[in-house]
Amino acid sequence: MKPFFYNLFKKDNNKRKINNSNKIDDFITKNLEQNVVKIKNILNSSCDVVFRKFVLQPFNENAVVIYIDGLIEPRILNENALLQLMQSTNPDINYENENITDYVSNHLLTVSEIKKINTISQIIDAILSGESVLLINTSNCAFQINTRGWKSRNVDEPPSESVVRGPREGFVESIRFNTALLRRKIKSPNLIFENFTVGSISKTDVCIAYIKDVVSNDLVIEMRKKIESINIDYILESGYIEQLLVGSKTTILPLIGNTEKPDVAAAKMFEGRIAILTDGTPFVLTAPHLFVESLQSSEDYYNKPWRGTIIRWIRIIALLLSIFLPAIYIAALTYHLEILPTQLIITIAASRQGIPFKPTSEMLLMLVFFEVLKEAGIRMPKHIGMAVSIVGGLILGEAAVKAGIVSNPTVMVTALSGICGFIVMPQDTLVLVSKFALAILASLSGLFGVLIGSIMILIKLTSSTSFGVPYLAPIAPTIPNDLKDVFIKYPLWRMNYKPKSINFSKKVQSNNQDTKQAGDKDEK
């Protein structure tokens, strides 16, 4: 099934395409005023659209340059286009024997990139994309001039992926800046970018990047088909692309990765993945995405392997504590007190004297309270959010304990589970949903409920795939060579083969075909 909003947008898009095909898919005429009137009607005479009329020299013909104020670089337009088009003729050039369009493109326009276009629809698309368009009277074609130059954020360290050691540059909101950052990391002619336009209204630029002869051709074809099949009115962030690429798979697992760091995206492309860049957002998607990537960090490869191995095991332990600690606490206090040491039981019982809630209600209340504090700290302004987190975590927590609403062990378990969840942020949805689900199951049937919930989570992990690649690869199915970068971080000189997990589905398919062909030969 497609997302519920998919068909709604699809119906509107079909109507819009029919209407637009009758309005703007006309060829440019030789009457300049007629073309200008058509363009003004389509753009609804918007005040930010500029029509700069002038007389083209040396032909003495009326001409107009159309652009959107704020989307172009005025210096490029003035010095490399208007100045050349309006100045007097060069006596060394015989313009009388040349066609007006050839003369303009060969001798007047000094912009690095120009393109001839023949329809009004192409003019509209060029203007709305930040290009300038030159129309000349008596000519049935126009020039699309590359004068893009809007303001953009500086290339800074991404706040969501801070590092102690490693590159400090991050992607920005401009898709062309982002492709340049990737090109700096991968100086290879096999690095390929393919552009798409997604969104019938927003017409957002989307680009896929991959390294030829490293990525699987089947993966490129599948990605290309999925992006071309997206039918929606607008794309505002790469999260739209992520949800639409996943399609009907309603899962809590991140089947497509995202990053703000060019070195991380480049490393994933070197392993055979595809990067998806969306104009207007610094978050670049990568696919396929595997579970083990959530336990890895770019710093693991910039430091000694011993440190990377220890930190990786800390992440694994943190993930398990974040998911299972609240549920085990509830199960132990409700059904299985015998598994706790006697002294610990006495301490917990003393701290729970006067608490009006049962352990289950108390833990769920604190988990919800922690999520509220976390959301408030994220959504509020930076300095205020920090104060809210400190006030909520220290003062309100201490006041709740003194008031006899919650116990100290519950506060400690909630805080430890929440802090551990920050270490594995790529799996934040899995951690959040699993934490509450296991806590409820533990309150119903103790550790047996935790066991049932764990089996369900494991089944979900092992049955999920990302673009045909098993989500738990190389753990399940086991790929021994790829395990060098999972539980133990091997030295780089030992990791001298490209991971086989990314092309696993292709290898299985080819092996099955070879086996079938061999079987057919044996039968013959």
Per-residue pLDDT reduced to its tens digit, 354-399? 888 888 999 999 999 888 888 877 777 766 666 666 666 667 777 7
pLDDT of residue 511: 45
pLDDT at 330 over 70: yes
CA-based radius of gyration for the chain: 30
How large is the average pLDDT for residues 158-186? 89
Give the model's confidence band at 468: pLDDT under 50 very low, under 70 low, under 90 confident, else very high: confident
Residue 85 tokens, joined: 């088009």
Q: How deeply is 517 buried, as exposed, middle or buried, from its count of CB atoms within 10 A (0-12, 13-18, 19+)?
A: exposed
pLDDT of residue 20: 43
Per-residue pLDDT reduced to its tens digit, 446-456? 999 999 999 99
How large is the average pLDDT for residues 151-172? 84
Residue 31 tokens, joined: 């009457």
Per-residue pLDDT reduced to its tens digit, 223-238? 999 999 999 999 999 9
* Rounded percentage of the chain residues whose pLDDT exceeds 70: 86
Per-residue pLDDT reduced to its tens digit, 203-226? 999 999 999 989 999 999 999 999
AA identity, residue 441: L
How large is the average pLDDT for residues 148-153? 77
Neighbouring-strand partners of residue 196:
206
User: What does residue 447 show for φ and ψ, rounded to 5 degrees?
Assistant: -65, -25
Q: Does the global pTM surpass 0.75? A: yes
What torsion, rounded to 10 degrees, do the Cα atoms 514, 520, 522, 524 define?
-150
Name the more confident of 163 and 327: 327
Q: How deeply is 10 buried, as exposed, middle or buried, from its count of CB atoms within 10 A (0-12, 13-18, 19+)?
A: middle
pLDDT at 127 over 60: yes
pLDDT at 88 over 70: no
Name the more confident of 132 and 519: 132
- What burial letters (b/e) apply to 242-258, b meaning 16+ CB within 10 Å? bebbbeeeeebbbbbbb
The C-alpha atoms of residue 415 and residue 412 are separated, in whole angstroms, by 5
Give the model's confidence band at 246: pLDDT under 50 very low, under 70 low, under 90 confident, else very high: confident
Provide the total of helices (H) and of strands (E) in the chain, helices listed first: 18, 12
pLDDT of residue 519: 43
Per-residue pLDDT reduced to its tens digit, 469-492? 999 989 988 888 888 889 988 888
HSE-CB of 306 using CA atoms within 13 angstroms: 0
pLDDT of residue 18: 35
pLDDT at 67 over 60: yes
Residue 43 tokens, joined: 């753009």
What average pLDDT does the structure give for the chain? 84
Name the more confident of 137 and 513: 137
pLDDT of residue 513: 46
How large is the average pLDDT for residues 320-324? 95
Nearest to 260 by CA among 426, 452, 94, 472: 426
